[in-house]
């Protein structure tokens, strides 16, 4: 019997590829265009397809490739895969929910720190006017606030939400959260000297989190409707900061821009967008929004962890 063939169509870390090859799998890393994918899979007898966000695995592809045994998503969200249909056809679907948590959480704090110190605006204006209007710019950015002592509301308390909580506690913030599993959660913080401290957090109703929080960060899968729209923003504190590094469409961007313009929302940080990959110009140009192009899990360390986690799951599933 020949080697099981794997196509990592959106790439895989070297460590993950090596682990699979050591176990006797043959790994292809050719980037195949979506319209040519079915032909390539069939021509090369691919049984395992690995994707990130770029490749779509829907009913048409699954029907065209009956020999597929497993679909692996290098990351958390699986909106680009028809998971139910795949399982109905007997195709396993796996993802890597833990490997990117640290990377996403750190990006959340990059956006938070950017927003409270006006860096998204300063980084635009300093190259243009830093040599001629230094004093005026210094004065305009002097009203910054600190994160320590403030309340961070986390909506969605899975692996990433809990990692965000660890960073928030470490920086001296109070953490409240809302989740569809509102039970008490124990969050462990591990330190460089080997110490570990445990903190118990209990979920709260959404309205309570909206009303209490100085900053709100979203960590949710794709939704049919907005989780945060105009009515939810109305319940928030004036000057609140909102971060979305989860999925476009959970936050109403029209309502957000309106609230930014009115001052109800002090700033926003967006890594994901409703109309991704072509975000709205009014969002991209807004001086109160810190922006990144859906790179939450895109660190060297996270991609290596993702590759290893994916490889181990494939080995366990197919052996």
Is residue 304 annotated as part of the catalytic site, yes or no?
Answer: no
73 neighbors 93 (Cβ within 8 angstroms): yes
268 in helix, strand or coil? strand
Among residues 200, 184, 190, the alpha carbon closest in space to that of 167 is found at: 190
Task: Pull the structure tokens for residue 205.
Answer: 């109703």
Whether 124 sits among the annotated catalytic residues: the reply is no
Gap between the Cα atoms of 198 and 189, Å rounded: 6
Could you say which of 21, 276, 280, 304 is catalytic? 276
The token pair at 111 is 């956006």
* Given 247, 274, 286, 309, the catalytic residue: 247
Angle at 227 between CA 277 and CA 223, to 5 degrees: 55
Rounded distance between C-alpha atoms, residue 9 and residue 29, angstroms: 6
Structure tokens at 293: 């192009």
Q: Where are the beta strands (DSSP E) in the chain?
A: 5-8, 26-28, 48-51, 70-73, 92-95, 151-155, 174-178, 184-190, 196-202, 215-218, 240-244, 265-270, 289-291
Instruction: Find, among 272, 176, 268, 165, the residue nearest to 221 by Cα.
Output: 272
> Comparing C-alpha atoms, which of 295, 288, 265 is closest to residue 124?
288
Catalytic residue among 18, 98, 294, 304: 294
How far is it, in rounded angstroms, from Cα 14 to Cα 10?
13
What is each CA distance from 69 to 58, 186, 200, in whole angstroms? 15, 37, 41
Q: What span, in angstroms and rounded, lies between the C-alpha atoms of 15 and 27?
A: 12
SS3 228: strand
Would you state the structure tokens that stand for residue 71, as one six-digit string?
């679909």
Which two tokens mark 22?
């050591």
Task: Say whether 247 is catalytic.
Answer: yes
Q: Which residues are catalytic?
A: 247, 276, 294
């Amino acid at each position: 019997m020949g080697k099981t063939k794997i196509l990592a169509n959106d790439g895989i870390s070297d460590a993950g590829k090596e682990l699979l090859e050591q176990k006797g799998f043959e790994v292809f890393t050719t980037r195949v265009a979506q319209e040519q994918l079915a032909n390539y899979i069939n021509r090369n007898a691919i049984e395992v397809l690995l994707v990130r966000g770029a490749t779509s695995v829907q009913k048409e592809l699954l029907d065209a490739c009956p020999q597929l045994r497993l679909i692996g998503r290098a990351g958390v969200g699986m909106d680009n895969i028809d998971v139910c249909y795949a399982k109905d056809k007997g195709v396993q679907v796996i993802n890597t929910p833990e490997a990117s948590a640290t990377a996403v959480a750190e990006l959340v704090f990059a956006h938070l720190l950017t927003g409270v110190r006006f860096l998204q605006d300063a980084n635009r204006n300093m190259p243009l006017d830093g040599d001629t209007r230094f004093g005026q710019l210094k004065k305009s950015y002097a009203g910054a606030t600190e994160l320590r002592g403030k309340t961070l509301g986390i909506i969605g308390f899975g692996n990433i939400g809990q990692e965000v909580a660890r960073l928030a506690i470490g920086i001296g913030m109070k953490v409240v959260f809302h989740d569809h599993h509102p039970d008490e959660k124990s969050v462990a913080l591990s330190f460089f000297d080997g110490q570990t401290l445990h903190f118990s957090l209990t979920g709260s109703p959404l309205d309570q989190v909206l009303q209490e929080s100085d900053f709100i960060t979203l960590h949710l899968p794709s939704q049919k409707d907005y989780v945060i729209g105009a009515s939810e923003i109305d319940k928030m504190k004036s000057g609140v900061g909102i971060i979305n590094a989860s999925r476009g469409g959970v936050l109403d961007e029209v309502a957000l821009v309106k609230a930014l313009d009115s001052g109800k929302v002090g700033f926003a940080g967006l890594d994901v967008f409703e109309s991704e990959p072509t975000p709205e110009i009014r969002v991209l140009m807004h001086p109160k929004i810190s922006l990144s192009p859906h790179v939450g899990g895109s660190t060297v360390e996270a991609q290596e962890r993702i590759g290893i986690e994916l490889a181990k799951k494939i080995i366990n599933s197919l052996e």
